[in-house]
Amino acid sequence: MNPRKETNRLEPHHRHLFKPIENSETGGCHLDIFLPEITKDAPVAMMIHGGAWSIGGSGHLPPDQITYLLEQGFAVVSPEYRLAPHVKLAECVEDLLDAYRFVQNGLNQVLGTELDTKRTCVMGWSAGGTGTLLLTDAILRNGLERPRAIMPTYPKTDNERGWNEPMQAFTDALTSEEKVALDKLMAEPVCTNYPIKQDTFFKGTDPRIIWARATMRTKTLNTWLCGQDSPYPKSVNPMDVVNGDFPPTLVIVATEDKLIDPAESYDVVNKLKSVGVDARYLEARGMTHGIAEDGRETWPEDQDWWNEAILPGLEWIVKMTRA
């Protein structure tokens, strides 16, 4: 992986603790809030960060996309969620649902605004793209206001497809250094925000990063996230939960993604189409995994992913949410 420039992340206008959690490093899950110049009747875009459900935080968002939505008169919110390995995937989704519920029922009261929370869309990248799909299912099951549209970017949509080795594969391959790191990590409070830099995953020496690298090396990440060996619970597998009640969906595909097979994006679009959902995809040709979450200034100069896929996707979700 060639080093790229660091992205200059945007600072939110407000930050609110929407879910207190005991034994948490920061007291619980916070919501970052960005507001447009005119807040009255502004639609809301919820953005969900990626990071393999184990690193990253609410600030790890693409600044260009936030800026575009603010210029279109949208408020943008980004929730923290508890990070593995202290919790399982179902608990991460529970945090996202609590964030969405707060946006629908409590955000205006806290801010003293009149945002139009009935016009909400959801977007996410990588794990956040997976979270976008799983959150939408949870919203529907809990009878909350359905998002007007959703836009996952290079999501993992099938837990049974890779990273699904049994836990024994992890324990058998664990080095003494990794075992010490894992024990230290599990003794720490639950984390909701672990900042990512370009070389975090490959060069980091923190126990969390040592554990994360071990899960990837042993291909056991999904086993950790699901809390059991395969077959995994269908309730946290996007391909099993998407259904005909889903809102219009657009998936951004990174065609050169070596971490998550692009076929998983095409497959979830086809599944949604088969049950009558307005589903489509846009391709960022030549893009690899993770790049869409960074600022355009870090992208290769010979790529036009912004005009090819990102901007058309944003224009689509703005149109669908305003409708």
For residues 264 and 157, the answer to whether their CB atoms sit within 8 Å is yes
- In-domain check, residue 7: no
- Based on the fold, state whether residues 131 and 242 are members of the same structural domain: yes
3-state SS track over 89-101: HHHHHHHHHHHHH
Per-residue model confidence (pLDDT) at position 38: 98
CA Rg value for the chain? 19
Chain centre to alpha carbon of residue 15:
18
- Based on the fold, state whether residues 22 and 103 are members of the same structural domain: yes
Nearest to 62 by CA among 123, 147, 150, 118: 123
Domain termination residue (choose one: 204, 226, 248)? 226
Distance CA 285, CA 253 (A): 8
- Please tell me the total count of domains within the chain: 2
- Based on the fold, state whether residues 57 and 196 are members of the same structural domain: no
- In-domain check, residue 74: yes
- Based on the fold, state whether residues 31 and 115 are members of the same structural domain: yes
- Based on the fold, state whether residues 55 and 174 are members of the same structural domain: no
Which stretch of DSSP H or E encloses residue 283? strand 279-284
Q: Which residues share a beta bridge with 120?
A: 44
- In-domain check, residue 1: no
Domain termination residue (choose one: 179, 207, 226)? 226
CATH of the domain at 243: 3.40.50.1820
Per-residue model confidence (pLDDT) at position 150: 99
- Based on the fold, state whether residues 243 and 146 are members of the same structural domain: yes
Please give the residue range of the domain that contains residue 214.
167-226
Half-sphere exposure of 186 (CA within 13 A, CB side): 9
Per-residue model confidence (pLDDT) at position 31: 99
Task: Locate 132 and state its tokens.
Answer: 């976008």
pLDDT along the chain (323 residues), means of 10: 66 97 96 98 99 96 97 99 98 99 98 98 99 99 98 99 97 94 97 82 83 95 98 98 99 98 99 99 98 93 96 99 95
- In-domain check, residue 110: yes
Burial 15-38 (b: 16+ CB within 10 A, else e): ebebbebeebeeebbbbbbbbbee
Q: How many helices (H) and strands (E) does the chain have?
A: 13, 8
Domain termination residue (choose one: 179, 205, 226)? 226
Distance CA 85, CA 228 (A): 13
CA distances from 58 to 76, 163, 287 (A): 11, 25, 23
Task: Locate 131 and state its tokens.
Answer: 């979270």
pLDDT tens digits for range 291-311:
999 999 999 999 999 999 999
- In-domain check, residue 220: yes
- Based on the fold, state whether residues 198 and 113 are members of the same structural domain: no
For the chain, the farthest-separated pair of C-alpha atoms sits apart, in whole angstroms, at: 57
- Based on the fold, state whether residues 69 and 138 are members of the same structural domain: yes
- In-domain check, residue 2: no
- Based on the fold, state whether residues 108 and 249 are members of the same structural domain: yes
- Based on the fold, state whether residues 119 and 186 are members of the same structural domain: no
